Amino acid sequence: MAAAPPPAGDTRDTGHTDCVLDLGGLDALVQVLRSRGRTVVGPTVRDDAIVLAELESAAELPYGWGVELDGGHYRLVWRTDRAAFAHSAGPQSWKNHLLPQRVRQWSADRGPDGELRVLPERHEPGRYAFLGVRPCDLRAIAIQDRVLLGGRHRDDAYTARRTGAFLIAVECTEPGETCFCVSMDAGPAAGPGYDIALTEVLDEAGHRFLARAGTPEGADVLAGLPRRAADPATRRTAAGAVESAAARMGRTMPATDLRTLLADSLDAARWNDVAARCLTCGNCTMACPTCFCTTTEDVTDLTGDHAERWSRWDSCYDLDFSALHGGPVRESGRSRYRQWLTHKLGTWHDQFDSSGCVGCGRCIVWCPVGIDLTEEAHALHQEARAKDRPA
């Protein structure tokens, strides 16, 4: 297990001194990264949501915007300040850039002489700089790294995009109504894995960002920016804002061993209740920053002389996902929801030595019928406790 992350404003274990950036320094950060040939991606307002898109300057950040969240509900709200990162996770995660929904694997052509030529796809190394990576999403990237970079089944397309990515984490000071990263030990302070970590501070002393480097490259980038030494007041305010956020989570998981709870609840009556509401649409798996399942599809042109194989996102809610000879293994909505939740919170540990959930709350917000996995976990816990009580 990784060591516990230092509190906001603490530079222990980074080997570098923290500093303060003003709004001009934040824009300079974007420009320096672009000048180094990186595609800067960060949050911006588009189509009534805060989405992740390429940024040409820090002016495109969602200054003054927050979000109102609930099960099956998302709405932008205007804030009384000009905070740039006072919003929680939006509909997209960094998975959309590191593991795109559709990626070509190889192509094949048949020449006039009938000879078949197969060309493996060359996945060019990415030059991304991700600005505004929330601590929960930082953990999600580390989880996907464990799945897609290691072991016998490395994903070459993911590896190419991920290896060169520069991560700028932003610690959370405004948790959303559906956030529960504290329950999953994934925030609101930034854990390991960032190149630079920022904590936004906005008070009577001004609008600024406490910055610290987590890698030599991060330190080199910070050294080229207009900045000033971090003062004790900014450090205290930043640390206090993150600590306050930890105490204001909108959701919680039950205080129990979730892995054991799910393993012992396979026949729980609660699964019937959630199955009556679940549409098995797979929205939760698409919004989830750690779900990684893909399938393959082959396509040809009209002549039949050119063919391509593509990988694309798949979902355990799809009937074909578990299809074997004779039909799908998990035919009912009950079995498919149970598979998703028990894998996410339980058997993920058996495969990858961690939970598959980071507490971002996206699956709650983007479920069309507002199913809340924290509510389901609490219900399963209550049902298990009721069974254990003496008659």
pLDDT band (50, 70, 90) for residue 328: confident
The pLDDT of residue 388 is 77
pLDDT band (50, 70, 90) for residue 150: confident
Among residues 377, 327, 323, the alpha carbon closest in space to that of 355 is found at 377
The pLDDT of residue 13 is 40
Please name the amino acid found at residue 281: C
Q: Give the pLDDT confidence of 88-125 residue by residue, as tens digits.
A: 989 999 999 999 999 999 999 999 888 999 999 999 88
Average pLDDT, the chain: 92
Mean pLDDT to the nearest integer, 318-324: 88
Q: Are 20 and 234 in contact (CB under 8 A)?
A: yes
The pLDDT of residue 379 is 97
Mean pLDDT to the nearest integer, 305-329: 91
Mean pLDDT to the nearest integer, 194-214: 97
Distance CA 292, CA 182 (A): 23
pLDDT band (50, 70, 90) for residue 152: confident
Please name the amino acid found at residue 387: K
Q: Are 25 and 32 in contact (CB under 8 A)?
A: no
How many percent of the chain have pLDDT more than 70? 95
- CB within 8 Å of 17: residues ≥ 6 apart: 11, 212, 229, 230
Q: Are 146 and 216 in contact (CB under 8 A)?
A: no
Mean pLDDT to the nearest integer, 243-266: 96
pLDDT band (50, 70, 90) for residue 60: very high
The pLDDT of residue 391 is 59
The pLDDT of residue 8 is 37
Mean pLDDT to the nearest integer, 46-74: 97
pLDDT of residue 326 exceeding 70: yes
pLDDT band (50, 70, 90) for residue 55: very high
pLDDT of residue 73 exceeding 60: yes
The pLDDT of residue 75 is 97
Q: What is the separation, in whole angstroms, between the first and last Cα of the chain?
A: 40
pLDDT band (50, 70, 90) for residue 230: very high
